[in-house]
Amino acid sequence: METSRTIRERRSVREFTDRAVDKQTIANLLELARCAPSGANLQPGQFHVLTGKPLADLNAQLTAGIAADRPQVSEYSYFPNPLSKQLKARQRTAGYALYQALGIEKRDLDGRRAQFERNYRFFDAPVGIIISIDRDMGKGCWMDMGMAIQTFLLAVHDAGLAACGIGAIANYGDLVHEVLELPNDQVVVAGIALGYAADAAVNDFRTERAALAEFTTFRGFDG
């Protein structure tokens, strides 16, 4: 029951306090993340944890890159192209609900742009995590890495902390790669903002999930 509660209560937090998170707490959470299933026990994916000046430097470089209209990269496809009508509807519904929670009007393009760019400051969280994976890993390894990330996010919530996954970080993966001086064999996959949740309306925002009948079939069962 405790696991079920953690799964249902976990949410993406986009407003944090300035309370620091100590290194050992994060280390413990990452060790839990490595308990996720992994085919052939390959345990793909690397977690690069930043706080203080290293995080501030990365934020500054990302902000400067955006201001200079630095081209975005596409080292992997996050969304299908094109999005189906059903998926596009889900994306729009979630986006509109988020901006409504933030008090940003639908036609306020500058406000929406400014909010999106907060992704590249890790929503001002005290800890930012960059996730990378070896370029030679197969698609199944990306799935295993995703399970490790989800295990981490659940462990974070269970520990009384908060987090938000940031897929947009990959848009400037080459810049992140340069700033962190990552090995050439690593692809920047995503980021995670980590800290303690602030008392803010945006943190009460929830996305709707698809009904069971939309994604499940049962065969061989009675009733």
What CATH number is associated with residue 16?
3.40.109.10
- On the question of pLDDT at 38 being above 80, the answer is yes
46 contacts: CB under 8 Å, gap ≥ 6:
131, 132, 133, 186
- Percent of the chain at pLDDT exceeding 90: 84
Query: Does residue 213 form part of some domain?
Result: no
Please report whether residue 214 resides in a domain: no
How many Å apart are CA 54 and CA 122, to the nearest integer? 13
SS3 127: strand
The percent of residues above 70 in pLDDT, for the chain, comes to: 100
pTM above 0.85, yes or no: yes
Q: What is the extent of the structural domain holding 84?
A: 2-205
What pLDDT, on the 0 to 100 scale, is given for residue 81?
87
Q: 216 lies in a domain?
A: no
For 15, the token pair is 């407003």
Within a domain: 217: no
Residue 57 lies in a domain: yes
53 vs 173: CA distance, rounded Å: 20
Q: Is residue 153 part of a domain?
A: yes
Least confident segment among 50-64, 84-98, 183-197: 84-98
d(CA 52, CA 54): 6
The structural domain count of the chain equals 1
On whether residue 220 sits in a domain, the answer given is no
What's the pLDDT tens digit per position in 141-172? 999 999 999 999 999 999 999 999 999 999 99
Is 93 domain-assigned? Answer: yes
Per-residue pLDDT, 96: 86
Residue corresponding to tokens 């249902």: 8
